[in-house]
Amino acid sequence: MSKFHAAFIEYVKTGHFEAIASHLTGAENQGRLAVYRNTFISGCIDGLTRKYPSCEKLLGVDFFKTLAREFSISNPPTNPVLSEFGEDFPEYVRDTLKQEHPDLSYVWDICQLDRAWHHAYFSLEKVPLDEAGIESLIVDIENKSLSLHPSVQLVNVSSAITTLWSQLRDSDISEQMAIEFKPETVLLWRDSGKILHRVLAASEALFILSIYEGKTLGESAEIAMQSDEIDISNTFSQLLLNNLIT
Amino acid sequence: MQTLTNLPASAGMSLKPEYFDSVHTNLDANLWFEVHAENYLIQGGPRLEQLQEISSHFPISIHGVGASLGGPDPISQEHLSRLVSLLNLIPAAVFSEHIAWSGTQSNYLGNLMPTPITKDSIDSTAKNIMQLQNALQRPILIENPANYLSFKSDMPESEFMMSLVDITGCGILLDINNLFISANNTGIDPHSYIQGLNSDAIGEIHIAGHSTDPNEQGLLIDSHDSDVSKGVWELLEALLSHTGPKPVLIERDGNLPTFEALLAERNQAQHLINSIKKIV
């Protein structure tokens, strides 16, 4: 690496301009170097804001920016695709808030749902089972293993925040909402370009997770029924109707 | 020499996902659009589908911001293969990239940082351009940077650009807003810069709005978040008088106006192209 490149990286990452100063035509230029450092950080913050919009609304612009800025400096992007930046941001938020704001533990859940929305939105497209494919399932259905649509996301959250999250995605919230610290499993998927979601019963979640893991429908049903009552036929029909079986 | 661009010598505009629903097939037949490659290096979903649909009706220019041509490392193989996949999906009329760099393979800094304008840098940058051109199987256009300060250099930037053109067979995307900003911030003469370029090598022109740095009144920032300034329009007219009609893009990335408002600004560029008389 050339001395210029090494010195420039050191400046942008740390703000120390001693090494890059020897490459400038005049000392008066030093202050202008800040443009590059500021652009780097503001680009990262913009990327995180687009990926975690509900988190930003919940925390407020200033608090979110502070967290996003600190995260970006300690966890800079690893490739040029900005939409892939910040995969670990929810965990960073969780760990950071744990110290000073333990009452905000549900913010991690909100971030996880934003991340899942993002994955569902940009996932691969795959044609769902057509009528002939569905008919072919009937014979020996219990021993069939199926694939879920690539957009399917299953998220376990530690608090019942899915309604709050959904409101934050669609609009601002103006009234206080009570947060119940009761775990939920949320299914997200893409249908006709829109991201849909549903809170699952524990048995439904186990059934869908088992299909995702490659277990046969019979095995998946058995695992689900050990957890709780479940109408397997209805749950499976819902998956077909929502084009989630491919 | 391979054709540098398949764009028409007309005006185009940045295409953001926010505008997708406004793009109808009854728009000006000479209209074309430009997108940032890195926004479409995704697996699938509506954004990619809508771009594919639009590309079946209008020419698309794909503009890269992450290849790091002026960086210390070869271009990442993963990035190259993702660009190749994108160009297999979207029939791009042209592919362009910046003469800039964004970090190293282990430190990606999400920024367009200045390439050293030195003899050594010509070699390494030319190798990266060749690597990209070989992967994409086409010549690319390279864009002049917006400069905020002066670095020690071995030659004028226009000479550096033309050396890269001569070595690699690439063309130039001349960003007039960047040139205007560089002239303001570093004192170069933009008209001498233009005279230093071979007109035939210019395959596309960018114009955009800029802003003033909040900490230093005299410093212009390449922000793409406002209308094109009067000075940039004047410089565009001077350039087109020198080169004749070329594809001209209204570039907009922030503070997005309505589609109709950006289209009106694009139409202003089209009128200028239509009225231009080349000074021989």
Of A47, A81, A125, the CB nearest to B44: A125
The average pLDDT across A35-52 equals: 92
Q: Is it the case that residue B1 has pLDDT exceeding 70?
A: no
Query: What order do you get walking across the sheet with A153-157 strand by strand?
Result: A153-157, A184-191, A194-200
pLDDT for the residue A99: 87
pLDDT for the residue A17: 86
The average pLDDT across A119-128 equals: 94
Chosen for mutation from A40, A45, A69, A126 (greatest number of chain B CBs closer than 10 Å) is A40
B103–chain A Cβ distance below 8 A for any pair: yes
Largest interatomic CA distance in chain B: 51
What confidence tens digit (pLDDT) does each residue in B24-72 have? 988 898 999 999 999 999 999 999 999 999 999 999 999 999 999 999 9
Query: Which domains, from first to last, does chain B contain?
Result: 11-279 (3.20.20.150)
CA distance B14 to B206: 10
Length of chain B: 280
The average pLDDT across A47-62 equals: 96
What confidence tens digit (pLDDT) does each residue in A153-180 have? 999 999 999 999 999 998 877 777 788 8
Contacts of B216 in chain A (CB under 8 A): 31-32
Among candidate residues B168, B103, B110, B115, the one with its CA nearest the CA of residue B146: B115
Q: A245, A146 in Cβ contact below 8 A? A: yes
Helix, strand, or coil (residue B184): helix
Q: Give residues 200 to 239 of A whose Cβ lies within 8 Å of B.
A: none
CA distance B259 to B13: 10
pLDDT for the residue B279: 61
* Res. A229 pLDDT band, cuts 50 70 90: confident
Q: Give residues 33 to 72 of A whose Cβ lies within 8 Å of B.
A: 33-36, 39-40, 43-44, 47
A77 and B66 in contact by Cβ < 8 A? no
* Res. A145 pLDDT band, cuts 50 70 90: very high
Q: Is it the case that residue A135 has pLDDT exceeding 80?
A: yes
pTM of the complete model: 0.92
Contacts of B147 in chain A (CB under 8 A): none
> CA angle, corner B157, sides to B237 and B61, nearest 5?
55
Contacts of B219 in chain A (CB under 8 A): 32, 35
What confidence tens digit (pLDDT) does each residue in B193-228 have? 999 999 999 999 999 999 999 989 899 999 999 999
pLDDT for the residue A26: 81
pLDDT for the residue B278: 62
What confidence tens digit (pLDDT) does each residue in B136-146 have? 999 999 999 99
3-state secondary structure B221-238: ECCCCCCCCHHHHHHHHH
What confidence tens digit (pLDDT) does each residue in B141-197 have? 999 999 999 999 999 999 999 999 999 999 999 999 999 999 999 999 999 999 999
CA-to-CA dists, residue B199 to A164, B169, B234, B277, angstroms: 58, 14, 18, 15
